[in-house]
Structure 1
Amino acid sequence: MRTLFVLFNYIRCLPHIALFLIHSKKKTIYADVDRWLGILGKDYSRTFGFVYLLSFYPEYRNLFYYRVGYIQYFFKFLCPELSTLYLYTPHIGEGLFIQHGFATIINATSIGKNCWINQQVTIGFTNSTDSPTILDNATIYAGAKVLGNVVVGENAVVGANAVVVKDVPNDCTVVGIPARIIKMNGKTVRNVEAFS
């Protein structure tokens, strides 16, 4: 049934498909599609997978519209984006996966490659100039807040509902309010109250 729906959506998504095939950022868009399909366990061709994502994942639509820029306004009414997901980041690396993007605000200085962000996450400013930088392969789970001029390191994990107001080192897992390190380089860390 889903396959039939996707095939029907080829007609609705013709402007999207055209941009998918010819846009100047198609390498990044292709990487996004490949990552989403890999995470979702779908072994589809890239074009069919792209239409599949447009059909069933409004979070993906937001990311695609972010990639293509202002031209989106001519056709995004055909596949509406998720109205409570906001992408205000100047640079987002390829492969960003947004799982359940409901009530999520992503307002970082930059986001690296292959990051994962869940629902109800806030990544944003603490004043008019200070916003976070998220490095490659970072994961930020549901309800987390990453605020101010902080860096979330490569392969770092921010646990659900954590509040990050200091830099998170590479290969660390942080949890709590304020966030504290509980795992570093794959090993459990005990009694770490603060980090810088």
Structure 2
Amino acid sequence: MLDNRNLRELIRRWRATPQSTIALFDEADDAIRATIATKERVLYPAVRDADGHRSGYVDDAIAQGRRIEGFLDAAERLGPEGPGFHDEAQDAASAMDGLLVHEQRDLLPALEHLSPDDRDRLEREYGNTWVDVSAEITAARATRRRPHLRPTPRLLPASRPTRHPRHRPLPARHPAHPWPPTTGDQPPTAPIFAGKLAPGPLPSAA
């Protein structure tokens, strides 16, 4: 789990240059989605329970999360070579920065009066939920098709067996016929997200 400080640093590196926006897209995308989902499942309900007057702020945070996911979805569909990819990625980064500021100012102060036992319970629930969400993201990435990340088609061998001019090749579906080679139809190999980000403390208002 990334706390707010770590996530801010990742976003800063992600949006620093056009090259880093491409290179760090998957890492930032996963971290942002996992952070949003974990907070919606654990942190935001805890804020509502601690201070019902802040429910409107929680609703605003959830709506902002949907907008951020929309920017990420658009950037993913476009791919690094697509027109508008960098704009969508930068919009996601800016919107996430804004959400973190909103949480620090309007949501996290509601948890300052929790007892030590309640704080420990929330910490454990947050960490366990982070692990579950990370696994869900890893599974989703393994099945999600990303055209710009498909593997390069396998090349033909340097030479092919000489065939008699009258020989007619077998149909491509025949098991003994190796042509044509496979294209990029296989799903891309997914990075192991769960092993990249370790559980950490809840974000604090400090």
TM above 0.5, one fold?
no
Is the strand fraction higher in 1 or 2? Answer: 1
Say which one has the larger Rg: 2
What is the TM-score normalised by the length of structure 1? 0.25
Is the helix fraction higher in 1 or 2? Answer: 2
